[in-house]
Structure 1
């Protein structure tokens, strides 16, 4: 599966990118016809010094696409939440296709 990770206005460290890449590869176990996926990592510019981390995941399958967006204080936490939500969406869609 093709996983494209894009960072907006910053450079992510290799460790974070590797974790995201490994987790996204596991998505193939829930749906076997995934065409591609894009993960966006963004910093939310807030007036305060603490910036929220935004993770958006878009996954393409034939005749459908999934999209999840989450925000938290760390990229790892945002990604985990978004990934869990995405897995639920993929599972529900697959069950509808089978039924």
Structure 2
């Protein structure tokens, strides 16, 4: 599984890249047919403190799962998105087993 990380208008430090990779590698245990993951990091132009957005696209055969989360930090947004993806992947796996 390949994880592509793209940051819009800023440079990502190694610590954040490692965190994202470790968090998203855990998705393999919920659904083993993941082809790749695209992650887009960007900051919203608002005065709100929760302005860090993470968009994650999980590519699986037949469909793509898309999750967008916003939080105070990229780590928190990644964690929220990862939890949402875990639920989606479990639903997908149960749906595939039913057919």
* TM-score when normalising by structure 2: 0.93
Runs of 4+ in 1 over 6 A off after TM superposition: none
User: Which runs of 5 or more residues in structure 1 are unaligned?
Assistant: none
Give the root-mean-square deviation of aligned CA atoms.
1.3
Correspondences of 1:1-99 after superposition (within 5 Å)? 1-46=1-46, 48=47, 50=49, 52-99=51-98
SS of structure 1 residue aligned to 2:6: strand
Q: Which residues of structure 2 form unaligned runs of 5+?
A: none
Q: Answer whether contact 1:43 1:51 (CA < 8 A) is retained.
A: no
Q: Deviations over 1:2-61 (max 9, x none)?
A: 000110110111101101011111111111111111011111011x27460000100011
Equivalent pairs, count: 98
TM-score by length of 1: 0.93
| Equivalent-residue separation in structure 2 for 1:49 and 1:93 (angstroms) | 34
- Give, in whole Å, the separation in 2 of the partners of 1:51 and 1:26: 25
Quick one: distance in 2 between partners of 1:93 and 1:61? 10
